[in-house]
């Protein structure tokens, strides 16, 4: 694993073709301007012969998105043997194939809409599954937290160049490892989960960083990935905090400059950094987090 220069294993590529499109408009003075806007395209996910969901996505890493979505919804278990992943770019479909049948029929019967943007989907028994989750007794240094925020917030990304998008980063210690972006924060998290599943990576000693709100869905997905700490520049929802406290997940929000708030899992924090030594951010940033 790369560590000396803190190089990402996967990093955003704002210049990648198909992820953005140039649109011509006018600014506040009436002058003509060209703006790069994020693409949004459908991806229909199949599990074996069953159509599961159509997600709106920017279109990168469809294999990780499909794997992570199915894993986070409980449709793929640790015992399911994946025999193939077939992506058809023209038809905008991806099929995940398993050696034996899965339990997706039950899941589809209990589908509900979530608060996630870009039509997030979650299933009724996800909350029930939290009862059996025991998160690892990991620790989180505030010095690592500050270092991660400083690097992630200055990494070239669609989030910084075009906006209207969410980023999620898998981190280990002070090192950001995999940085995924998408129009919905749930998609970005699912891509991380899919990458972890495909590469056999454990969440036991990791932190998940997101640019979006800390909602119940984000907390649930983080816990299902076996990650005990979730951080964001943005704020919290009450249910997200309630669930985090229920499962003892460390939840850190409003992480900007030297400031942050921890509303759950304080015991994991090791306060080894003097906040006054951390450079404070301007009160009004030129690029605000996408809502």
The pLDDT, as a whole number, for residue 65 is 97
- First-to-last C-alpha distance (Å) of the chain: 33
Tell me the C-alpha distance between 220 and 108, whole Å.
18
Q: Give 3-state DSSP helix, strand, coil % of the chain, rounded to 5.
A: 25, 30, 40
β-bridge partners, 84: 97
DSSP per residue, 56-106: EE--S-HHHHHHHHHHHTTSS-TT--EEEEEEETTTTEEEEEESS--SHHH
Whether the CA torsion 53, 79, 10, 272 is positive or negative: it is positive
Residues near 211 by Cβ (< 8 Å), separated by ≥ 6? 159, 166, 167, 168, 185, 232, 233, 234, 289, 290
CA proximity to 142, closest of 277, 280, 271, 281: 271
Per-residue tens of pLDDT for the chain, all 291 residues: 333 345 899 999 988 888 988 999 999 999 999 988 999 999 999 999 888 899 999 999 999 999 999 998 888 887 889 999 999 999 999 999 999 877 665 566 555 444 444 444 454 555 666 777 889 989 999 999 999 999 999 999 988 887 788 999 999 999 999 999 999 888 999 999 999 999 999 999 999 999 889 999 899 999 999 999 999 999 999 999 999 999 999 999 999 999 999 999 999 999 999 999 998 876 644 444 444
The pLDDT, as a whole number, for residue 74 is 83
Whether the CA torsion 277, 282, 285, 289 is positive or negative: it is positive
The pLDDT, as a whole number, for residue 261 is 97
Residues in the chain: 291
3-state secondary structure of 244: helix
Q: Are 244 and 264 in contact (CB under 8 A)?
A: yes
Which stretch of DSSP H or E encloses residue 289?
Answer: none
DSSP per residue, 183-201: SSHHHHHHHHHHHHHHHT-
Q: Give all domains of the chain, ordered by start, each with its CATH number.
A: 41-124 (3.10.20.10), 140-277 (3.40.140.10)
The pLDDT, as a whole number, for residue 281 is 78
Say if residue 178 is exposed, middle or buried (CB neighbours under 10 Å; 0-12, 13-18, 19+): buried
Tokens of 64: 């990780």
Backbone angles phi, psi at 236, to 5 degrees: -115, 160
Tell me the C-alpha distance between 130 and 143, whole Å.
30
Other C-beta atoms closer than 10 Å to the C-beta of 287 total: 11
Tokens of 183: 């129009």
The pLDDT, as a whole number, for residue 107 is 60
The pLDDT, as a whole number, for residue 66 is 97
């Amino acid at each position: 694993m790369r560590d000396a220069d803190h190089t990402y294993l996967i990093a955003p590529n704002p210049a990648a073709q198909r992820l953005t499109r140039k649109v011509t408009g006018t600014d506040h003075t009436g002058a003509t301007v060209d703006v790069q806007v994020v693409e949004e395209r459908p991806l229909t996910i199949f599990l074996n012969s069953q159509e599961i969901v159509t997600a709106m996505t920017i279109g990168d890493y469809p294999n990780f998105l499909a794997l992570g979505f199915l894993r986070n919804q409980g449709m793929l278990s640790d015992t399911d043997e994946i025999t193939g992943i077939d992506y058809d770019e023209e038809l905008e479909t991806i099929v995940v194939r398993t050696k034996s049948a899965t339990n997706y029929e039950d899941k589809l019967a209990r589908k509900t809409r979530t608060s996630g943007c870009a039509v997030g989907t979650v299933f009724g028994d996800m909350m029930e599954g939290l009862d059996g989750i025991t998160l690892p007794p990991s620790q989180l240094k505030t010095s690592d937290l500050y270092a991660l925020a400083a690097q992630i917030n200055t990494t070239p990304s669609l989030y910084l160049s075009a906006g209207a998008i969410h980023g999620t980063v898998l981190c280990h210690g002070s090192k950001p490892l995999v940085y995924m972006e998408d129009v919905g924060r749930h998609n970005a998290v699912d891509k991380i989960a899919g990458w972890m599943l495909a590469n056999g990576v454990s969440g036991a000693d990791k932190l998940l960083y997101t640019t979006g709100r800390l909602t119940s869905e984000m907390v649930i997905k983080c816990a299902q990935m076996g990650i005990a700490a979730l951080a964001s520049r943005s704020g919290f929802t009450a249910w997200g905090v309630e669930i985090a406290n229920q499962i003892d997940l460390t939840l850190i929000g409003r992480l900007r400059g030297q400031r942050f708030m921890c509303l759950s899992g304080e015991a994991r924090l090791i306060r080894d950094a003097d906040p006054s030594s951390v450079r404070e951010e301007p009160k009004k940033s030129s690029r605000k987090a996408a809502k």
